Chains A and B, each alone.
Chain A
């Protein structure tokens, strides 16, 4: 296939080109146009189109609090901290890369030497008010410990409703039940991907 075919973006031959008439200049032509437009019935076409839609009753509303659309696994919602599958310890190793890369300076991490001489996390705070959910912390994390979850309803009236690190770590009961969802990573498909598949509208 040569380049000419690639440049042809007309995916179908059903294109309807608009016929633009010249603006009438003489009064006879103007009168003719008024009469033509008056009796053409275009207004009734409009009436029919909306009435047809009412009869079809093909409603597209999602009644949000009761119904929710499936979210892509790549959606960057509220952060989650994963546990290690073998030990159940939280996966964070305290490297501090997330604090370093955070462009809105909302992550603060403090570490210390643990009892076995290893580095442990003393505190890890995330200021959700400043966070712009860019996803850099999840991207940079070497242990895939911090990820973005699917939770996006994070408005609250009280400061106490906002969460700390302890709430972000996968709860132990969910973890023991084996329900901790691993980060599917970038490029993962959404749960309803099969429904959304369409042919690419290009020549190739």
Chain B
């Protein structure tokens, strides 16, 4: 392919990914509210459109037209840039993820690679950029001159110190088996060797737990735990600035779900009679449902419990897992 064709293709890829995942973030909020409601014997949004399906649009209009308030004593540049960090890092992290297998456009021979860039440090890049995303709550919380925001920011640091170790260590074991950091190589490895989940169940569970902490989802959503710190770092945010945080959170959920399905659940290889593209969508949907399900069922943990869990339980487990994997590989 020519140089300019490559650039245009990449730009189209970027735009498609941006649009699809921004829309998915909105739709996921709808499903989250519905699933949570059904699990709590409620109906959830019902009034806007049939079965409340247009609630997403109503929320979007509300967020866009809401007054944009920057607190008087806030550190304004940092306050303003924090939500951008949240959304941007979430989407940058997606640039190394292959979302679907390569496919041909209908009525042409053009092969589409549904990955923005297959870099050789793929998963390292994704995990690193997602971790940078934690700067958003940290900076936003510290810049908004509010007690609750400051507490939220402090909890961000605790969370970052805790889950980061586990994410890295839990992914090392499967990477040792594959011998490559590229997510496409990891996916292709599972085509011949079967799902990594069966050989690395402990790593899968560790990664899921760390992923929940990374996306601030419920068992570990200390940063914005309403009952304790109002909304934590997001207390002073309103309108679209808050909306960017939300989009970032939901985009991160998708990133974690895609990584989990690519690394552990066989990725986009065909699954029995199900073709690969559909298989990965099913896997990601199940993982996203798990996110919502866990939110409905489980209570929060305290910050000290999260640290205890990550450093005293999960990290030793991850290290032992790596050791055993290494011994088996030798």
Given known pairs A50-B293, A51-B293, the reply for A61 and B39 (CB within 8 Å) is: no
Within 8 A of A (CB), among B22-45: 35, 38-43
Residues of B within 8 A of A34 (CB): 313
Q: Tell whether A54 pairs with B297 under 8 Å between CB atoms, given A59-B41, A63-B43, A63-B46.
A: no
| Partner of B43 from A49, A50, A54, A61 at Cβ < 8 Å | A61
Taking a contact as CB atoms closer than 8 A, the residue among B35, B46, B298, B313 that contacts A54 in the complex is B35
B78 interfacial by beta-carbon distance below 8 Å: no
Q: Which of A34, A51, A54, A60 has the most B CB atoms < 10 Å from its CB?
A: A54
Secondary structure class of chain A's binding surface, majority of residues: helix
Within 8 Å CB of B38, what residues of A? Answer: 53-54, 57, 59
Interface of B is mostly: helix
Say whether A60 contacts B298, CB under 8 Å.
Answer: no
Known: A53-B38, A54-B35. A47 touches B297 (CB 8 A): yes
**B42 with A47: CB separation less than 8 A:** no
Write out the residue numbers on chain B whose beta carbons fall within 8 Å of the beta carbon of A49.
297
Q: B54 — which chain A residues lie within 8 A by C-beta?
A: none
Q: How far apart sit A116 and B86, CA to CA, in the bound complex (Å)? A: 83
Q: Which residues of A contact B313 (CB under 8 A)?
A: 34
* Docked pose: A63 CA to B35 CA in angstroms: 18
Q: Tell me the complex Cα distance, A58–B296, Å.
A: 16
A34 to B296 alpha-carbon distance, docked (Å):
24
Mask, A76-92, CB within 8 Å of B = 1, is 00000000000000000
Instruction: Point out the residues of chain A lying under 8 angstroms from B35, CB to CB.
Output: 54
Docked CA distance A51–B40 (Å): 10
Near B by CB (< 8 A), chain A positions 27-71 give 34, 43, 46-47, 49-51, 53-54, 57-61, 63
CA distance A34 to B317 in the complex (A): 14
B residues near A (Cβ < 8 Å) are 35, 38-43, 46, 293-294, 296-298, 313
A-B contact pairs, 26 of them (CB 8 A): A34-B313, A43-B298, A46-B297, A46-B298, A47-B293, A47-B294, A49-B297, A50-B39, A50-B40, A50-B293, A50-B296, A50-B297, A51-B39, A51-B293, A53-B38, A53-B40, A53-B41, A54-B38, A54-B39, A58-B41, A59-B38, A59-B41, A59-B42, A59-B43, A61-B43, A63-B46
Going nearest first, the 4 A-B pairs with the smallest beta carbon separation are: A50-B39, A61-B43, A46-B297, A54-B38
